[in-house]
Every structure is written in structure tokens, then in C-alpha cells.
Copies of this chain bind each other. A is one copy, B any other.
């Protein structure tokens, strides 16, 4: 089911190409290349633009007063970034590229202006936001109650789901995240993530490359989702 990533809310990224084409008719779109570590925007900055990855992976993180960083979102092609800045006119999070990628950006003011002439340009934004709210709810649920290994299994399964939606292979994936980042996203320490990976490997639902530990093979997605749904040695009551 992949509650952590894909959830039951599907759709927004389906044909982002069409959405972009549609938007392009009414709003000035900027296209930009980014590399790993590039900051799209950071928390506290004045909000001006929304961003849509065309390729590459991005993490969105919240830094707290005491310096602790938390990953609150992971995004790829077709997602909308920066939506949290609309209300306060100031980005609430930072968005950082995890690898090379391309991104479209558009000024929110332009979008609003365009909506005066063509109200439909806002629909994808409304949908993306609604979508995000659903996802966040599912993530919360996972954070609250699921044991560590299930969270990680669910995360992997969800990640594979994202790739599948975009027509990419899911039997052999490369995570653009460190164990620390995954842990931050899932509310675990890096050690717990590592142990969960090992456990999944021992349970024969994934294989971890012995050299490059972020290369994960998932021979049978169904085995992984089976594990994620609560068959990790304990039935969840």
C-alpha cells in the first residue's frame, strides 16, 4: 500500500507534461539545472516562486530552533515545491537537490495574475496541495504507530511506487539519501534504519549491494509490501 510515499492519493504527477504545457501558455516558466546540494530555497526566505522538478530528487526539510534538522518531504518529477510558503509569504522549509536534476519555476504572483484570465491554471495547484495534505496524514500515521522495520519497508515500497508511476525500474534502485536522512524522514535514528535494512535483507525481501549500500534490489515488490503490511515476524495485533 505504501502509505509513506504514494499512499492512496494518486494522480498529481501522472501527466505533469500536460500540466506544464498548459501552464506555459499563461505563465512565464523558468527552467533550471541543479546539482546535488543546491538549495532551491531556504526556510525564512521571502516566498516568491513555486517549483516543479522535471528530473532529480529533492528533500524538503524543516530546521528547528535548536538546530535539529528534519526531512519532512521527498519529491521528484511532477511534485510541487514551495506550497508551504503561500500563507506566510515566506518559505517554511528548505528544499535541497539530492542529485542532478532540472526544475521549472514560476512566480506565484504571475500565477495569480494568470488566474484572473484563466482560472483553470490554479486547479493543479489546488490538487497538489490537497494531495500533499493527504500524504502528510499518511506519513503521520506511519510515524505514530508503526515499528521501525515496517516503516522502512513501507518507505522502500513507497519509493518504488514513485519510480513505477514514472515508468522507472523498481527491481534495482539507488537511494539518493543517506541512512541519516531516511531516519530523519521516518522518525528514526540512522542506526535503527540500518538495522531495519539488515533485517529486510535477512528476511529476503531486499538485497543490499555489498559495496554501494544505497543500491537496493527488490526482486519481488509483493514480498516487500507483504512485509510492510505487518508480516515482519510479528502480526501487528
Chain A residues near B (Cβ < 8 Å)? 1, 8-12, 62, 64-66, 68, 70, 72, 83-88, 92-93, 112, 115-116, 119, 122-123, 125-134, 136-141, 143-145, 184, 187, 230, 236
| Residues of A contacting B: mostly | helix
The CA-CA distance from A18 to B83 in the complex, in Å, is 24
Nearest first, the 6 A-B pairs at minimum CB distance are A144-B187, A86-B130, A87-B130, A136-B136, A129-B129, A87-B131
Q: Which of B70, B136, B138, B145 meets A144, CB within 8 Å?
A: B70
Say yes or no: A137 contacts B86, CB within 8 Å.
Answer: no
Say yes or no: A87 contacts B9, CB within 8 Å.
Answer: yes
Say yes or no: A141 contacts B62, CB within 8 Å.
Answer: yes
Say yes or no: A119 contacts B130, CB within 8 Å.
Answer: no
The residue in chain B whose Cβ has the minimal distance to the Cβ of A121 is: B119
Given known contacts A126-B129, A134-B88, is B143 in contact with A144 (CB within 8 Å)?
yes
CB distance from A5 to the nearest CB of B (A): 15
The CA-CA distance from A64 to B140 in the complex, in Å, is 12
A86: B residues at CB distance < 8 A: 126-127, 129-130
The CA-CA distance from A187 to B62 in the complex, in Å, is 20
CB distance from A63 to the nearest CB of B (A): 10
The CA-CA distance from A18 to B132 in the complex, in Å, is 28
CB distance from A30 to the nearest CB of B (A): 21
CB distance from A222 to the nearest CB of B (A): 16
Say yes or no: B87 contacts A12, CB within 8 Å.
Answer: yes
The CA-CA distance from A83 to B125 in the complex, in Å, is 12
A119: B residues at CB distance < 8 A: 112, 115-116, 119, 122
Say yes or no: A141 contacts B64, CB within 8 Å.
Answer: yes
CB distance from A13 to the nearest CB of B (A): 11
A1: B residues at CB distance < 8 A: 65
Given known contacts A9-B92, A115-B122, is B87 in contact with A137 (CB within 8 Å)?
no
A12: B residues at CB distance < 8 A: 87
Say yes or no: A133 contacts B132, CB within 8 Å.
Answer: yes
The CA-CA distance from A128 to B122 in the complex, in Å, is 15
Given known contacts A129-B129, A131-B87, A134-B92, is B139 in contact with A140 (CB within 8 Å)?
yes
The residue in chain B whose Cβ has the minimal distance to the Cβ of A47 is: B130
Say yes or no: A92 contacts B8, CB within 8 Å.
Answer: yes
